[in-house]
Amino acid sequence: MNFLESVRIAMRALNANKVRSALTMLGVIIGVAAVILLVAIGTGVQDEVTGSIEGLGSNLIFVFAGNFEEGGSSGGGGIAIRKQFTIDDADMLQRRLGPEELVVPLVQGPAILKAGNRTMRSTLAAGNEHADAVFTAEYLGGRAYRRSEVAAASRVAVIGSTVRDRLFPHVDPVGRQMSVNGQRFTVIGHVASQGGSLTGDQDNQIYIPVTTAQRLLGSRDVSSIIVRASDPDKIDELQAQIRQVFTPSFGEEFSVFTQEQTLGILSQLLGTLTVMLAGIAGISLLVGGIGIMNIMLVSVSERTREIGIRKAVGAKTYDILSQFVIEAVVLSVAGGMVGIALGWSGALVLQQWVPTEVTAWAVALAFFFSAAVGVFFGVYPAYRASRLDPIVALRYE
- CA neighbor of 374 nearest in space, from 317, 299, 289: 289
DSSP β-bridge partners for residue 190: 141, 159
CB of 377 within 8 A of CB of 293? yes
Distance, in Å, from the CA atom of 330 to the CA atom of 7, rounded to the nearest integer, reads: 9
CA atoms within 13 A on the CB side of 240: 3
Question: Residue 389 CB: number of other CB atoms within 10 A?
Answer: 11
User: What SS3 class is residue 391?
Assistant: helix
What pLDDT was estimated at residue 292?
A: 75
Dihedral sign for Cα atoms in the order 190, 191, 193, 195? negative
Alpha helices, H only, 351-389: 360-386
DSSP β-bridge partners for residue 65: 254
> Can you give the pLDDT of all 397 residues of the chain as single tens digits?
566 666 676 677 677 777 777 877 887 888 888 888 888 888 777 777 666 665 555 578 888 887 766 544 444 444 555 678 889 999 999 999 888 888 999 998 899 999 989 999 998 989 998 888 777 678 899 999 999 999 999 999 999 999 999 999 989 999 999 999 999 999 999 998 876 554 456 788 899 999 999 999 888 888 889 888 888 788 888 889 999 999 988 888 888 887 777 767 777 777 777 777 777 777 777 777 777 777 777 776 666 666 667 667 666 776 777 777 777 788 888 888 888 888 888 888 887 777 788 878 778 877 787 778 777 777 766 666 666 666 655 555 5
Distance, in Å, from the CA atom of 287 to the CA atom of 223, rounded to the nearest integer, reads: 46
**Cβ-proximal residues to 323 (8 Å cutoff; 6+ apart), any chain:** 6, 9, 10, 13, 382, 385
Distance, in Å, from the CA atom of 238 to the CA atom of 102, rounded to the nearest integer, reads: 11
**Cβ-proximal residues to 349 (8 Å cutoff; 6+ apart), any chain:** none
Distance, in Å, from the CA atom of 122 to the CA atom of 132, rounded to the nearest integer, reads: 20
Distance, in Å, from the CA atom of 1 to the CA atom of 214, rounded to the nearest integer, reads: 83
Q: Where are the domains of the chain?
A: 3-50+266-395, 83-252
**Cβ-proximal residues to 79 (8 Å cutoff; 6+ apart), any chain:** 66, 67, 68, 71, 72
Distance, in Å, from the CA atom of 30 to the CA atom of 289, rounded to the nearest integer, reads: 11
Distance, in Å, from the CA atom of 173 to the CA atom of 200, rounded to the nearest integer, reads: 23
Question: Residue 169 CB: number of other CB atoms within 10 A?
Answer: 9
